[in-house]
Structure 1
Amino acid sequence: MERDSQLKLYEAVADQLKEAHTRVRALQVPEGVRMALNRKLLVISAAAKHDLATADRRLSRFLMDLDEGRFPEVD
């Protein structure tokens, strides 16, 4: 039973990561901002391999930041 819930969470995170990458690709932002956002997504993807629940929370915050137009500062 727990394995089923873990698989469902994995599928949800994978779908959200796919959506996040699509949204970042579509943003009209400077290339440095896009690269910083992609790095964040890579970190979240790597974290998902070790701690899926934490990666899910981080990804939710990432998507919320995108929704609210909060992007990383780039020099």
Structure 2
Amino acid sequence: MERDSQLELYEAVAARLKEAHSRVRALQVPEGVRMALSRKLLVITAAAKHDLADAARRLDRLLKDLDEGRFPEGD
């Protein structure tokens, strides 16, 4: 049973990561901002390999920031 819920969470996080990558690509922002967002997504993807629940929380925060127009400063 726990394995099924873990698999469902993995599938949900994977789908949301895919959505987040698409949203970041479509943003009309300076390249430095896009790169900073892409790095955040890579960190979340790496975190998902070790702590799926934490990665889901990080992804929620990132998507909320995108929804609210809060972007990191670009280099």
Q: The TM-score by the shorter chain falls in which range?
A: over 0.9
Aligned identity (percent) is 84
> Normalized against structure 2, the TM-score is what?
0.98
Runs of 4+ with >6 A deviation: none
Q: What is the count of residue pairs matched by the alignment?
A: 75
Q: Distance in 1 between matches of 2:40 and 2:3?
A: 28
After superposition, what is the alpha-carbon deviation per residue over 1:27-73, rounded to whole angstroms, capped at 9, x for unaligned? Answer: 00000000000000000000000000000000000000000000001
1:38 pairs with 2:38:
yes
3-state SS in 2 of match to 1:73: coil
Residue of structure 1 equivalent to 2:55:
55
Q: Which runs of 5+ in 1 are unaligned?
A: none
What is the aligned-residue RMSD (CA, Å)?
A: 0.6
TM-score with structure 1 setting the length: 0.98
